[in-house]
Amino acid sequence: MKAPAPTTDSFKFVDLFCGIGGFHYAAKQAAEKAGVTLKAVAASDIDTHCQDSYEENFGFRPMGDITRIQAEDIPDHDLLLAGFPCQPFSIIGQMQGFNDTRGTLFFDIARIIESKRPRAFVLENVKMLRGHNRGKTLNRILEVCRDLGYQVDFRILNALDFGLPQKRERIFIVGFRDAVDFVWPEGNVPMKQLDDVLEQNPPQQYYASEAIRAARIAKQEPTAETTVWHENKSGNISAYPYACALRAGASYNYLLVNGERRLTGREMLRLQGFPDSFKIIKSYTQTRKQAGNSLPVPVAGAVLTNVLTALKAGTGNEYCYLGSQGILMEENADYGKETTLEKR
Ligand SMILES: C[S@@+](CC[C@H](N)C(=O)[O-])C[C@H]1O[C@@H](n2cnc3c(N)ncnc32)[C@H](O)[C@@H]1O
């Protein structure tokens, strides 16, 4: 039977695969909304450009390669955050147990959870994790988390529902060590207009060549309102009043404002919900990669607000766990079956 969660309003977190700190900004915003104090005690990213940007903006340097960090060298924490890369998916789905995930970056998350026993974790990844290998990959991840003693659930959330003019769907997986009342955020936040995100007079260097602009206009009528034009792999062009998902490795002309210019580094960061106080210290190429790899800050912020609110409250609830809809479920009930709470 799960222990009731204690109430508290002071938390420590670690930021794994931290990139340039999307989760860190989200955590700060969430702590304010949930009325708790939240302190970062460690971060890790293998990319030295990300480490530089993170240090410049958050005042401490992330550790490097997570596979080389012993769990004991990571400070104790209440909340583990990890926007881990999708690289290991192809293998996880075939695996049988926790030790079988060795050699994948998810294994490193799991071994740190096993050793440090944080009160909660939030993992973020691409939407396709849900369907990968006919759902086996995600199931393996959820099973490993449950085997470690955590109640887990996941949701696909879209940045468009959380106020950003970017269609970016991501999977969020939450896990709780103790029984808590957690609900997923609904979103329903009105979308910011592109004109509120775009810079007024970006330098000429962001404009595509005449040939590219002509090729775009030949395929798509210019629109009266501001739109971002998206060229898919087959060369088809679509124009939307929001950006399609930023991608770290996409071609420079993958997204063009009004079919004529690239997004600036600041615009890409704004499309991910980074505040303008974020200091850009890297080249355009690096900033583009960093922003493209990042998570949508307000989405993570909304999830974390509800996680912190749940942890702050505790529940004293001994018989319940979190079901697939974020509904409290009776202990030992079938997963996914809604039940009535027996004891609160
Ligand atoms: C999808 S990005 C996450 C970005 C981050 N959530 C953000 O909002 O900026 C994945 C990150 O994992 C990092 N990474 C990949 N392998 C790693 C490893 N072995 N140890 C630590 N970080 C790693 C990459 O450098 C990249 O920044």
Ligand 1: distance of its center to the CA of 325 in Å? 28
Say which residue, 174 or 100, is predicted with more confidence. Answer: 174
| Ligand 1 atom 25 nearest Cα | 47
220-262 confidence digits (pLDDT tens): 888 889 999 998 878 889 999 999 999 888 888 889 999 999 9
Q: How far is the CA of 129 from the centre of ligand 1 (A)?
A: 16
CB 66 less than 6 A from any atom of ligand 1: yes
Q: Is 88 in the pocket of ligand 1 (CB under 6 A)?
A: no
Better-scored residue on pLDDT, 133 or 200: 200
- DSSP character at residue 133: G
- pLDDT average, residue stretch 35-40: 96
pLDDT band at 67 (very low <50, low <70, confident <90, very high): very high
| For the CA of 20, the nearest atom of ligand 1 | 9
Q: What is the pLDDT of residue 341?
A: 32
Atom of ligand 1 nearest to the CA of 22: 8
pLDDT at 23 over 60: yes
Is 86 catalytic? The answer is yes
pLDDT for the residue numbered 312: 92
Domain boundaries, the chain: 10-187+294-330, 194-284
Backbone phi and psi for residue 330, each to the nearest 5 degrees, phi listed first: -70, 140
pLDDT at 87: 61
In the numeric block, which tokens belong to residue 309? 């609110």
Q: Give 186's contacts (C-beta < 8 A, 6+ positions apart).
A: 161
Q: What pLDDT sits at residue 231?
A: 87
pLDDT tens digits, one per residue of 278-293 = 999 999 999 999 999 9
**Which residues share a beta bridge with 12?**
39
- Provide the percentage of residues in the chain whose pLDDT is more than 90: 69
Q: What pLDDT does residue 94 have? A: 60
Which residue owns the Cα nearest ligand 1 atom 5?
A: 19
Q: What is the pLDDT of residue 336?
A: 38
Which sign, positive or negative, has the C-alpha torsion 119, 125, 131, 135? negative
According to the model, what pLDDT value does residue 90 have? Answer: 54
Query: 10-187+294-330: what CATH class?
Result: alpha beta
Q: Is 112 in the pocket of ligand 1 (CB under 6 A)?
A: no
State if residue 274 touches ligand 1 by the CB under 6 angstroms criterion.
no
Whether ligand 1 lies within 6 angstroms of the CB of 22 is answered as: yes
Q: Is the pLDDT confidence value at 311 over 70? A: yes
Residue-averaged pLDDT of the chain: 87
Task: Tell me the pLDDT tens digit for each residue of 69-109.
Answer: 999 999 999 999 999 987 656 555 565 555 656 568 898 99
Ligand 1 midpoint to CA 259 (Å): 31
Ligand 1 centre distance from Cα of residue 192 (Å): 28
Q: Which residues lie across from 39 on neighbouring strands?
A: 12
294 C-alpha to ligand 1 centroid (Å): 9
